[in-house]
Structure 1
């Protein structure tokens, strides 16, 4: 039977989702602010918050005692015990995290590997970590599901990994494998696209409407674009959307031909951007066999003149690439993650100035370049967002 009852219930579910989304993305927020943002009346907001609290999704805390003006409003915070499992397989390591509602990484483990993991081994390792956490640190938590950030092409319609070339995966149902091993409903997405969403929601780009994000990892360079209300070509308006393209494969910046403005900067004849701007080359230059981004960043900080020359070469190629992207898309911010942020960090003003110098004047005036504010958490937070998106769409479902 359909009718007024079902319509009322649908509206209530939508309002619960709107409240939970605000608490999740904004962090601790007062009831008064929730009322202002949603346009609902105060009593309705109070009832919705109480329902979410009864469901263990949020907590209410006493108002700030320093507030002196007006009626105090309780603060609503996301529950730390509602978590999503986040996974990032790479050629040199597997990283697994537990991300709490609100975008905080509660737990993480990085397993360095001496061989490229198969999809089945990846799923088995993830399940082992989850089992350990279930019996220990997360024994009181509500684990909602898992999200996986894969360095490769992921089909948007069904989450099939079409091609992760550095991992050697083709047409893999990784979500199905992880779900079978762990028992968790699993979503899979491209790592850089998920990183873009994380930085837009929680990081450096949260106050920007049009964002280009480039991620540099062991598997190469990928990216994401978020346009909130920009007119594209014939007037299509994208609001808060991460552009995935027809099949979800957009953002493969690393597979484009590099922009080489200096003779002699090319190292791989016929190679693509990620052959020239390359994490493995930097590790080899500083004499590291491997390691995470923090290890590479520390090594680059005290680099020799020979290493500095390689760093400057990669910076020049990256600058030209970013300038081309900014001329085409006119973002208000470019965010760099992974070793790309380290390249910029060697000299931020000179790097940013080099990007703008190759751009048209008008878009250059509006551009801000930034390192990813979430650092090494960016891909885990982005992967977990796939889990939380299901939750906020139907908080009590």
Structure 2
């Protein structure tokens, strides 16, 4: 939190948060540019920047010469030594990173797992890695919290993981466990919800107010919706579970799992099996699919694209987004024939809903979930005036 005063300075706290959020999300800005971006006057901006600088949350740097007469205005930038820990447990690996307030990934590790992670083991591994990082690359870094992106429904009120089915977690208090192992406040959310936030702020949906996001991971398919610029959480925070919908399959020969849901039919595991692999990350999967000339591989990707197109058309008809963003293995699959997927979605979408619709792959790639987890920390710890 950026507050330092008494109960009567709520407006000041809100303005401090506004300035800090602006330079974090929009990049370094001069004081005059901050005046325009926030609507605050010059003297107020000067006071707020000085206070944020005193708190070690921003730094002012000399601007690059731009050829104008006179001294260039310094720019206000997020302090590079302020960071959040980001965590993403999956069925095949645990990813951990420290991401700076300036967007820099300070350190990142992927820890492959031969057995399913338990909540306790996850917290222990995060604590062990953070202890090592604090003695090395994060020696001078101020950590403001830990964000955890979980592949399953997370209760919004308290961060309880109600179920992460592929990890076999039920009612897991992973936030409390990570707080205990790291000494940091922990913030837990569904991985797709965090990926959507990251792409909305910094990626393929930047500047777009109505977004559908589908995330394809080792655990299946999750999703999230941004409506009118705000996340659509639902009554308990569980909205967006597109992977659990029953897919519309026109040709029964395309069905692989009787009565299966979308993530049973559009599957990373089936794609890996098609190229003869037991495991592999999204980069390895993309390389294998692109290089393969096996007609069986092409048939499998075409089958999954047909089913995915119908699922996306259903989402477009129900929610009328401006953009549908695909992340993880769904981005890999879509990139094989993005134009074809776009055409197949439009063919099944109401013309009015298809008019301004765009299908896009996640621009942040493999960083999206970690960036989203860090954003959950920054929002709670630094940008909230309450």
Confirm or deny a common fold (TM above 0.5).
yes
Using the alignment, how far apart are the partners of 2:288 and 2:335 within structure 1? 13
> Is residue 319–residue 351 contact of structure 1 (8 Å, CA) maintained in 2?
yes
> Is residue 154–residue 248 contact of structure 1 (8 Å, CA) maintained in 2?
yes
Using the alignment, how far apart are the partners of 1:391 and 1:176 within structure 2? 16
Name the structure 2 match of 1:360.
Answer: 350
Name the structure 2 match of 1:226.
Answer: 226
Matches within 5 A, 1:252-291: 252-291=241-280
> Is residue 26–residue 102 contact of structure 1 (8 Å, CA) maintained in 2?
no
Matches within 5 A, 1:330-345: 330-345=320-335
Aligned: 1:320 with 2:310: yes
Residue 153 of structure 1: SS of its match in structure 2? coil
Question: Alpha-carbon deviation of 1:291?
Answer: 1.9
Name the structure 1 match of 2:361.
Answer: 371
Aligned residues: 381
Using the alignment, how far apart are the partners of 2:244 and 2:376 within structure 1? 25
> Is residue 319–residue 354 contact of structure 1 (8 Å, CA) maintained in 2?
yes
> Is residue 103–residue 202 contact of structure 1 (8 Å, CA) maintained in 2?
no
Question: Alpha-carbon deviation of 1:161?
Answer: 0.5
> Is residue 66–residue 72 contact of structure 2 (8 Å, CA) maintained in 1?
no
Question: Alpha-carbon deviation of 1:107?
Answer: 1.4
Name the structure 1 match of 2:339.
Answer: 349
Name the structure 2 match of 1:234.
Answer: none
Matches within 5 A, 1:193-212: 193-212=193-212
Matches within 5 A, 1:1-397: 6=6, 9-68=9-68, 72-228=72-228, 240-303=229-292, 304-393=294-383
Question: Alpha-carbon deviation of 1:346?
Answer: 0.4
Residue 80 of structure 1: SS of its match in structure 2? coil
After superposition, the C-alpha distances for 1:7-44 in whole angstroms (9 at most, x for unaligned) are 65222111110000101111122222210121111121
Question: Alpha-carbon deviation of 1:79?
Answer: 1.6
Using the alignment, how far apart are the partners of 1:289 and 1:264 within structure 2? 25
Range with greater deviation from structure 2 (12-21 or 63-72) = 63-72
Question: Alpha-carbon deviation of 1:262?
Answer: 2.7
Question: Alpha-carbon deviation of 1:104?
Answer: 3.0
Using the alignment, how far apart are the partners of 2:286 and 2:330 within structure 1? 10
> Is residue 286–residue 332 contact of structure 2 (8 Å, CA) maintained in 1?
yes
Range with greater deviation from structure 2 (50-59 or 333-342) = 50-59
Using the alignment, how far apart are the partners of 2:363 and 2:195 within structure 1? 11
> Is residue 18–residue 392 contact of structure 1 (8 Å, CA) maintained in 2?
no
After superposition, the C-alpha distances for 1:99-120 in whole angstroms (9 at most, x for unaligned) are 1113332211001111101110
Normalising by structure 1, what TM-score?
0.93
> Is residue 93–residue 111 contact of structure 1 (8 Å, CA) maintained in 2?
yes
Using the alignment, how far apart are the partners of 1:370 and 1:114 within structure 2? 33
Which of structure 1's runs of 4+ aligned residues deviate more than 4 A?
Answer: 5-8
Structure 1 residues not aligned, in runs of 5+: 229-239
Residue 253 of structure 2: SS of its match in structure 1? coil
- For the aligned residue pairs, the C-alpha RMSD in angstroms reads 1.5
